[in-house]
Chain A
Amino acid sequence: RLRKWQERIRTKDAGERNLQFALSEIDRMASALGVPRSVREVASVIYRQALSEDLIRGRSIEGVATSCLYAGCRQEGIPRSLEEVTEVSRVGKKEIGRTYRYIAKELSLEMKPADPKEYVPRFCSDLEVSEEVKMKAIEIIDESAEQGLLSGKSPTGFAAAAIYAASLLCNEKKTQKEVAEVAQVTEVTIRNRYQEQIEAMGLN
């Protein structure tokens, strides 16, 4: 009897240590990404839900923690791309993406895809462009999305191309390389999205 009791305490302690570790990892990654406390709280709530629904069995704590943070950022309307969360995580992009999709499905998070516009403020401030460029980029995103160009495209690449185009239109040119770096996409992607968007705006 005593053995069973000790075992229960052991597993309970282990479980709490794991939860502590997960929450501290969420905190560490959130700080590294520079997201507000509200995001950490949302991510922690999602993690606890995943824990109570027993979704962590067979998965790494780090992977689940990272996925919850990724989901939390999106729910709060200040998304970080998978590329960005992978940079501050100890697990790979593929595992984070898979774990995120699994958690989102099981917890019925019903997440809408990230809106490219949500990336504009941060990317623009990283690039140190004016408010005018920011507004123009949003205008380009709205117009080209309305014309159906967004389907299937990555939100970061779409936002990056719009910012690049806006910087040209506002005579505050940023190079494709500069925009590609802050958005974590390649110059080829910016060129491809840029061509379509310019055409959609009737600016070619």
Chain B
Amino acid sequence: MTDPKDTINIENVVASTGIGQELDLQSVAMDLEGADYDPEQFPGLVYRTQNPKSAALIFRSGKIVCTGAKSTDDVHESLRIVFDKLRELQIQVNEDPEIVVQNIVTSADLGRNLNLNAIAIGLGLENIEYEPEQFPGLVYRLDEPEVVALLFGSGKLVITGGKKPEDAEHAVDKIVSRLEDLGLLE
């Protein structure tokens, strides 16, 4: 009865932005509390926000990647906090830098168990990847929207690769109708 679309939950949003200024990460690491910076290991400085929870990767070029947010609003809120922290260190930050969502990870539930072997054959072995010895999920790549779905025996799904929340909804609709056409749902 429940529309699988109503079970969609955004689990992670990845976005990129930039302050329009080069940075001396060594000194930022000294002044910014809780910053993790190990250039030998990775060129970005890691700064975590608590509310909302996220992790920002800050680079020498002034470009920033924000991960771990639960919504696009949280991404903006987290980055606002990061921008303010940098301003406190007397670093110039553009007025409101453009923030681009790069990836949204979503989970959903079809509400019934799935026979992954039958689905693998039904959707076409050439279109899917299902190697239960290596990973329990069946990997299904959609062209429209351009996302990747992981289908599990429990009927739960993970949809990733989308840039807007609607991508996940469209993907769930397509998956449900394809499985229904194949008679592999219900």
Contacts and interface: CB of A to CB of B under 8 A. Distances in A.
Interface residues of A, number: 19
B125 A110 contact: yes
Given A110-B125, A110-B126, A112-B125, A151 B116 contact: yes
A155 to B, nearest CB: 6
A35 B134 CA distance: 22
A182 interface: no
A113 B121 CA distance: 10
Contacts of A148: 113, 115, 153
A82 B116 contact: no
Contacts of A101: 129, 131, 134
Interface in A49-81: 81
B114 interface: yes
Contact of A112 (B120, B133, B152): B120
A151 B126 contact: no
Contact of A153 (B114, B115, B132): B132
Interface in A131-163: 148, 150-156
A52 to B, nearest CB: 20
A37 interface: no
B133 A151 contact: no
B136 interface: yes
Interface residues of B, number: 19
Given A151-B153, A152-B152, A114 B114 contact: no
Nearest to B155: A151
Contacts of A105: 129
B133 A114 contact: yes
Interface string B64-77: 00000000000000
A113 B136 contact: no
A150 B117 CA distance: 8
B4 to A, nearest CB: 18
Interface string B24-38: 000000000000000
Contacts of A153: 132, 136, 153
A108 B128 CA distance: 11
B134 A113 contact: no
Given A97-B131, A108-B126, A113-B132, 12 more contacts: A81-B133, A105-B129, A112-B121, A113-B131, A148-B153, A150-B132, A151-B113, A151-B136, A151-B153, A152-B152, A154-B133, A155-B133
Interface of B: 113-117, 120-121, 125-126, 129-134, 136-137, 152-153
